[in-house]
Structures are given as C-alpha cells and as structure tokens.
Structure 1
Amino acid sequence: MTTTAPARPASTEIDVVPAPDVRPRTRLQLLRKVAVAVSGVALILAGIVMMVLPGPGVVAILAGLGLLGTEFPAARRVSERVNGYVRAVWHKVRPPKKARPDA
C-alpha cells in the first residue's frame, strides 16, 4: 500500500514575494560614478602617455586603477592584482635592506 501526500487546496491568490528594497540611483550617485569613470580613464591614459614621455607613468596608471576601484568592483580586483605584481617586481629590483648588527 502506498501513501501519497494530501492534495493541496487550489489557491486563487498568487503568492507574491516582496521585492528587495532597491532604490533607484539618484542623479548625484550617477554623476559621481560618471566623474570617477572619466577621471580614472584619463589618469590611465595619461600614465600610458607618460610611459614614453617623461613622468611617473606607472604611478599614474596605478592611481587611475585605484580611483576606478572606488566605484567598480572589477577595477578593484585588477588594481589589487597589478599592485601585487608591481610590489613583487619592486622587491626583486630593490631587495629590502638588511638590518645592521649593533656594534
């Protein structure tokens, strides 16, 4: 003998799940995001130009990535990865100073 679950009563109402509290972006938030995007890209482009012209090209590129990382998670991940590579190269080029024994 097999048993089955009792039949559910037919519901005429549709179960409505409330939507999460999502507020539309205000104009100020959107303006900030656009301003950060434009200035971050401008810094990166200036850094690329400074790679062939005199100037701190790598610093400008890292600053642009850091600025973009304040608003865009993908840029933050790229910035962290690039910073790790730059630090590793820096430590290979300039190893940390050894501590002098006190005389």
Structure 2
Amino acid sequence: MTTSAPHRPAAATELDVVPAAEARPRTRLRLLRKIGVAVGGVVLILAGIVMMVLPGPGVVAILAGLGLLGTEFPAARRVSERLQGYIRTAWHKVRRTKKADSKADSAA
C-alpha cells in the first residue's frame, strides 16, 4: 500500500493575480447590489405592514421583503425561515379546524 503526498496548491502565476484596478468595480457593484437589495426589502416590508391595515396581501409582502433581504443578509434569511414555519403551522391548524367543521356539518 502506497501513500501519496498531500495536495499542494500550485504557485500563483501572473494570470491568477487580479490587479487592484479590476477588483474595485466588482466591489462597487457588490456594494450597490447590497444597497439595492436592502432598500427594496425594507420597502416591501413597510408596504406589507401598511397592507395589514389597508386591503392587500400584507403577510405575503412582508415575507417577500424578508426573502429579498435574505439573499444578501443571513440574519434576514433566518428570520424569514422561522416566520414561514410559524405561518405554515398556523395554516395547517386552520385547515384542520375547517375539515373538522365540515365533517360535523355533514354528519348532522
């Protein structure tokens, strides 16, 4: 049985190194995207809160805002997943009570 030497990464060549001038536009673009996602997510959440009082799909807008924020911010992703779990649980409880009510009505 023979063993092989551990893999060593190849030495960096001139082609592998990205000049600082090329790295800056990527960083700026990333920052602009993060700002755009933050603004869009907050706007959706605020619109959802307003729609909780006014007619409209408030819960859906809030979840969409959290989902959008979750693409860039891990904390928002965790909150979104937790809220979706709560909403699914509540929805299943409502469906169970509707089924039980419909069975009681059909039996009577």
TM > 0.5 between the two? yes
Using the alignment, how far apart are the partners of 1:60 and 1:47 within structure 2? 5
CA distance in 2, matches of 1:65, 1:26: 24
Q: What residue is the counterpart of 2:64 in the other structure?
A: 63
Partner in structure 2 of residue 42 of structure 1? 43
Give the TM-score of the pair, scaled to structure 2. 0.65
CA-CA distance at 1:94 after TM superposition: 1.3
Determine whether 1:32 maps to 2:29: no
Aligned length: 75
TM, length-normalised to structure 1: 0.68
Q: 1:84 — aligned with what? A: 85
Per-residue CA deviations over 1:12-67 (Å, capped at 9, x if unaligned) read xxxxxxxxxxx776110000000000000000000000000000000000000000
Give the aligned CA root-mean-square deviation in angstroms: 1.8
Runs of 4 or more, structure 1, over 4 Å off, are none
Partner of 2:52: 51
Q: Which runs of 5+ in 2 are unaligned?
A: 1-22, 100-108
- Gap regions ≥5 residues in structure 1: 1-22, 98-103
* Distance in structure 2 (CA, Å) of the matches to 1:86 and 1:65: 14
Q: What SS does structure 2 have at the residue aligned with 1:51? A: helix
Sequence identity (%): 81
Q: Secondary structure at the match of 1:55?
A: coil
- Does residue 94 (structure 1) correspond to residue 91 (structure 2)? The answer is no
Give the AA of the match of 1:29.
R
